[in-house]
Amino acid sequence: MFLTAPSNDARLFVAERSGAVRVVKAGVVSAQPFLSVPNVDTVGERGLQSIAFAPDYATSGLLYAFYTAFGSDPLDSGAMRGDVRVVEYRRSASDADVADPAYARLVLKVPHGADNHNGGQLAFGHDGLLYITIGDNATSANAQALANLLGKVLRIDPRDPDGIGQQTYGIPASNPFLTNPGAREEIYALGLRNPFRASIAPDGALVVGDVGSGLNEEVNVLTTGGGNYGWPNCEGPCTPPNVAHADPFFSYPHSGPTVCAVIGGHVVRDVDLPELMGRYLYGDLCASDLRSLDLGVAGGDPRQAGASLSAGESLQSFGESAGGCAYALTATNIYRVVPDAGAPAQCPRSSIPIPETTGGGRDTTKPRLTLTLTLRKRQRLGRFVTLAARCSEACTLRASGRLRFAAKPKAGAAKAPVKLRRATRRVRANTRVRLWPRVTKPLRTRARKALKAKRGVTARIVVIATDSARNSSRKRVRVKLLLPRPR
Pick the closest to residue 131 from 224, 43, 40, 58 (CA basis). 224
Q: Are strands 472-482 and 378-380 parallel, antiparallel or unpaired?
A: parallel
For residue 108, is pLDDT > 90? yes
Mean pLDDT rounded to a whole number for the chain:
91
Query: Averaged over 279-303, what is the pLDDT?
Result: 94
Q: pLDDT value at position 163?
A: 65
Highest mean pLDDT among 147-156, 165-174, 388-397: 147-156
Measure the CA–CA gap between 297 and 319, rounded to whole angstroms: 24
- Pairing type for strands 28-29 and 12-15 reads unpaired
Contact of 363 with 370, CB cutoff 8 Å = no
CB 148, CB 185: distance < 8 Å: no
What pairs with residue 460 in β-bridges?
402, 478
Total number of residues shown for the chain: 487
The per-residue pLDDT for 343 is 87
Mean pLDDT to the nearest integer, 74-90: 96
Question: What pLDDT score was predicted for residue 360?
Answer: 45
Q: Which residue has the higher pLDDT, 40 or 298?
A: 40
Give the whole-angstrom CA distance, residue 72 versus residue 263.
Answer: 31
The model's confidence at residue 359, banded by pLDDT at 50, 70 and 90, is very low
Residue 373 pLDDT class (50, 70, 90 cuts): low
Strands (E), 297-375: 303-308, 315-320, 326-330, 334-336, 369-373
Q: How far apart are CA 177 and CA 348, in angstroms?
A: 44
Is the pLDDT assigned to residue 356 strictly greater than 60? no
pTM across the whole model: 0.77
Q: Give the residue from 335, 321, 273, 262 showing the smallest Cα distance to 3.
A: 321
Q: Pick the closest to residue 211 from 237, 192, 229 (CA basis).
A: 192
More confident residue, 335 or 255: 335
What CA–CA distance (Å, rounded) separates 291 from 250?
Answer: 12
pLDDT of residue 7: 94
296 pLDDT band, cuts 50/70/90, is: confident
* Residues above pLDDT 70, as percent of the chain: 94
**Average pLDDT for residues 76-89, to the nearest whole number?**
96
Helix, strand and coil percent figures for the chain, each rounded to 5: 5, 40, 60
For the chain, list the domains and their CATH numbers: 2-336 (2.120.10.30), 369-482 (2.60.40.2550)
Give mean pLDDT, residues 133-140: 98
pLDDT at 171: 94
pLDDT bin (cut points 50, 70, 90) of residue 161 is confident
Instruction: Inform me whether the pLDDT recorded for 123 exceeds 90.
Output: yes
Q: How confident is the model at residue 447 (pLDDT cuts 50, 70, 90)?
A: very high
Q: How confident is the model over 435-460, as a mean pLDDT?
A: 91
CA distances from 167 to 44, 64, 284, 381 (A): 32, 17, 39, 72
